[in-house]
Amino acid sequence: MTPLSLALSLLLQAAPASPAAPSDAAAEQKAWHAQRMERLKADDGWLTLVGLHWLEEGDTSLGASPGNTLQLPEGAPAALGTVTRRGKQVRFTPKPGVAVKVAGKPFAGGPLRPDSEGAPDVVEVGTLRFHVISRGERLGLRVRDTASAARRTFQPIPLFTYDPAWRVEARLEKGQGPTTVAVPNVLGSVEQMKSPGTLVFQFQGKEYRLVPVVEEGDDSLFLIFADQTNRKDSYGAGRFLYAPLPVDGKTVLDFNRATNPPCAFTRFATCPLPPRTNRLAVRVEAGEKRPVGH
């Protein structure tokens, strides 16, 4: 699993279910959003992120003391240990006498697997967790605290009123040969991602188009889109939406399940942004609104 697909699975875990009867849709919406709230508040949810530190070549000292290269939150050991980068390889060496774990077992030190190689090695000490992320040529340490203030003070995300009109059928227009789309991100870089084509749908008699992306091994389409509710009513940088893979060239886009990206909850996420093709000239009054306090 790639870093982006791992992040997305942590965010939503699954694409929307197959089409439901209208009478069941609102109830399913409520249950889906309750599960999403629990996912955000989980130990490995976005609300526990408290740091992201890009690693330079050589040693990076970790600890709560101000003398460390990477100062950890209060409650961490004053000197936790040293992370060493050599090219694309990262090792962690705990300070003598500091007990840390990886996968629930005592860890005396050694190489750390990044998220680009599947599930990363997560180092645990007290309420703190950290692991290595890979973003292009960058390697970084993503730090979590299961006792974070964001997790403790989290308020439910407001939703637009459920609107069955925003559950639309879309047809897939395939491109000629392999297709990619340029997807920017908050780091200022652009990634070329695979796309099966363009999704075309209608709302209130007008036609709209969105370009989804798909990663190898994923069983859904992923859409990063912007619309005219952004900034005032929904998150300014756009929202995310999953859809089932097309059957006979058609799928369902349920904008009632549009979600805020991780960057709406933490400045330590590395979110993709809507490509230029995915800026809708309409107010999508469905799905999640701007989170409280953001």
pLDDT digits (tens, 9 = 90+) for 3-50: 444 444 444 433 444 444 455 888 888 899 999 999 999 999 999 999
pLDDT of 22 reads: 53
Residue 73 lies in a domain: yes
pLDDT in tens, 221-241: 999 999 999 989 999 999 999
Residue 29: both structure tokens together: 């919406």
Q: What angle do CA 116, 122, 128 make, to 5 degrees?
A: 135
pLDDT of 12 reads: 40
Residue 175 lies in a domain: yes
Is 255 in contact with 241 (CB distance < 8 Å)?
A: yes
Distance CA(101)–CA(126), nearest Å, equals: 10
Distance CA(93)–CA(60), nearest Å, equals: 10
Q: Are 160 and 267 in a shared domain?
A: yes
Q: Are 24 and 80 in a shared domain?
A: no
Q: Are 188 and 131 in a shared domain?
A: no
Q: Are 28 and 170 in a shared domain?
A: yes
pLDDT in tens, 253-287: 999 999 999 999 999 999 999 999 999 999 999 99
Express as a percent the part of the chain with pLDDT over 90: 81
Please identify, among 152, 170, 193, the residue that sits at the C-terminal boundary of a domain.
152
pLDDT of 15 reads: 40
The owner of tokens 């050694």 is 110
pTM above 0.85, yes or no: no
Range(s) of the domain holding residue 213: 3-9+19-41+156-278
Q: Are 127 and 164 in a shared domain?
A: no
